[in-house]
Amino acid sequence: MLYVLALFLPPLSILMIGRWFVALITLLIWIPAIFFSGGLTHPMFIILAWILIFQRGADRRAGL
């Protein structure tokens, strides 16, 4: 479910995995980037969110 949420709202999906500082920074960069680039930078934030979600799953599997 987090991967689907990351497609539409990457900062919220990052916040939901517990990385509140990264989510705040991402939100502060994501909002202006969407307006100034016309959405061309959105895939960059999706990839960032997917990587962080994947790392969280790997950490959980490793018991960290």
pLDDT in the model for residue 38: 87
Tokens representing residue 58 in the block: 């790997």
pTM of the model: 0.89
In this prediction, residues 18-42 reach a mean pLDDT of: 94
pLDDT in the model for residue 31: 94
How remote is the C-alpha of 57 from its chain's centroid?
Answer: 14
Q: What percent of the chain has pLDDT over 70?
A: 100
Cβ-proximal residues to 23 (8 Å cutoff; 6+ apart), any chain: 11, 12, 14, 15
pLDDT at 64 over 80: no
pLDDT at 39 over 90: no
**Euclidean distance between CA atoms 27 and 29, whole angstroms:** 5
